[in-house]
Copies of this chain bind each other. A is one copy, B any other.
């Protein structure tokens, strides 16, 4: 388990340790014969540089710390995937920690990330207090994904939930719908902006908005439908808080004898793998999640390289993915 060091390589190649270091960094100021000798010796010994020692000596780091609440959530998994790809392109590695959306655990996770003296830190939808974020930002560049802040030393990458909901409403209006109800996402971080976007878009079109309180689960979607069915008149379209909620709503409506989209059009949010299934074929709003990860990594790298000091505020545009759950309103409505 004891691996060869630079010293070993140097001895075998008959050169100094410093020269080996230069070769490992592809320095142009090494003569060809020495370079070959060093590379051969390294190869023969199976030498690979010791990142920790390198970091320590050079006072630099090639590590990006990532705090994610839960990798099982496809949203985070995809953002991390984007982060990883972009980080690798810039020569960084990811060290990942989970915070479980509990401030105390996130605090711990953040501390242990900082103990690695990473070059930068990405916090995905953290529930941490601003104070902690600020403290972290004074130690290294920090980027926030799916959370905004007014801290000027921190970058943020968010999807534009308002624009997404507006996209959904516009789509339905263009199909001829006027009675459009929103099932909101309750206490979820992204539900406020989605609701706001829905309200603004309805007002823009001169329509009367109606919000039914719900959550981001299929059971909640079904429950919201039950509430909706109490009404005298049903809407012709539903803008739900996310895909799961949409699925729950759809099956509850079908159970109640309604045809989707014949009687009611339904639109989801997130474009999860679920929505794409033939069987489901849900019209939904897609957020560029991988892209968000890439942008987060790029924001960090820029700050690390000192290329920028002003904060970046990315607000990514979602897109509409039209599938089979939306169509023109039926005649009988209005």
Which A residues lie at the B interface, using CB under 8 A? 1, 3, 46, 48-53, 55-56, 61, 63, 70-72, 74, 77-78, 80-81, 84-85, 88, 93-98, 111-112, 114-117, 135, 138-140, 218-219, 222, 244, 247-248, 250-251, 274, 277-279
Contacts and interface: CB of A to CB of B under 8 A. Distances in A.
B95 A95 contact: yes
Interface pairs A-B: 8 shortest CB-CB: A251-B279, A52-B52, A51-B115, A71-B77, A95-B95, A77-B77, A96-B96, A51-B116
B72 A117 contact: no
Given A95-B94, A277-B244, A115 B1 contact: no
Q: How many copies does the complex hold?
A: 2
Contact of A48 (B78, B80, B115): B115
Contacts of A61: 52
A52 B49 contact: no
Given A1-B139, A72-B81, A81-B71, A49 B278 contact: no
Contacts of A77: 71-72, 74, 77
Given A48-B115, A50-B115, A50-B117, 15 more contacts: A3-B117, A3-B139, A48-B114, A51-B117, A52-B61, A71-B78, A84-B96, A88-B98, A93-B112, A95-B95, A95-B96, A96-B96, A248-B278, A251-B278, A274-B274
A189 B332 CA distance: 52
Contact of A277 (B84, B97, B247): B247
16 contacts: A50-B56, A56-B56, A71-B81, A71-B84, A84-B97, A88-B97, A93-B97, A94-B97, A95-B96, A96-B96, A218-B279, A219-B278, A247-B277, A247-B278, A248-B278, A251-B279
B81 A70 contact: yes
Contacts of A112: 93
A278 B218 contact: yes
A111 B49 CA distance: 10
B248 A279 contact: yes
Contacts of A1: 138-140
B279 A250 contact: yes
Contacts of A222: 278
Contact of A95 (B53, B70, B93, B98): B93
Contact of A218 (B72, B251, B277): B277
A31 B228 CA distance: 68
Contacts of A3: 117, 139
B50 A53 contact: no
A71 B139 CA distance: 29
